[in-house]
Amino acid sequence: MKDSDCIFCKIANGEIPSKTIYEDENFRVILDLAPATKGHALILPKEHYKDLFELPENIASDVIVLAKKLATEMKEKLGCDGFNIMQNSGETAGQTVFHFHMHLIPRYKGDRQKIEWEKKEPSQEELEAVRKQIVEQ
Ligand code: 5GP
Ligand code: ZN
């Protein structure tokens, strides 16, 4: 399904032009308009899924295989030193466009880009309480 109000539906399906670096039946991969680093790209499914929670499992597995393939190619062609592969689901997590997309962010030595979080220091008891909350019914 497509969402007629969704800009990424329009981009993914070619109704709005984009800097496309890859396309197949199910995906279009475009350069981000406001890149964190040179080559920052977004994997867009052509169907509209709001976020990770709506993504069918077969598309989810294809996304990571495609991320690996493109990151490998881009590493060779752009000469980057590493990659951050990121996905934001939900406004609280920083999602701003509500059509699932995976960020591919090439990293270069000394690029001074920040993708980080404040590290907390939970006790073993606190970690155990969280573990139980997740695994217990
Ligand atoms: P989010 O914050 O939802 O994880 O990421 C949205 C990303 O989409 C941002 O990095 C933003 O720069 C990018 N973006 C937003 N609108 C457009 C657009 O119209 N074209 C392209 N190529 N990127 C966009
Ligand atoms: Zn959409």
Q: Are 97 and 63 in contact (CB under 8 A)?
A: no
- CB-facing half-sphere around the CA of 119: CA atoms within 13 A: 2
Per-residue pLDDT of the chain (137 residues; tens, 9 = 90+): 777 899 999 999 999 999 999 999 999 999 999 999 999 999 999 999 999 999 999 999 999 999 999 999 999 999 999 999 999 999 999 999 999 999 999 999 999 999 989 999 999 999 999 999 999 98
Round to whole Å and give the CA distance between 46 and 8: 8
Q: How many residues does the chain have?
A: 137
pLDDT for 1:
75
pLDDT for 3:
77
pLDDT for 2:
75
Active-site residue identified among 40, 48, 99, 101 = 101
What distance in angstroms lies between residue 131's CA and the mean position of ligand 2's atoms?
Answer: 35
pLDDT for 129:
97
pLDDT for 96:
98
Indicate if 103 belongs to the active site.
Answer: no
Q: How many helices (H) and strands (E) does the chain have?
A: 3, 5
Secondary structure of residue 35 in the 3-state scheme: coil
For 44-80, b/e burial (b = at least 16 CB within 10 A) is: bbbbbbbbbeebeeebeebbeebbeebbeebbeeeeb
Q: Among 6, 8, 29, 33, which residue has the most ligand 1 atoms within 8 Å of its CB, making it the best to mutate? A: 33
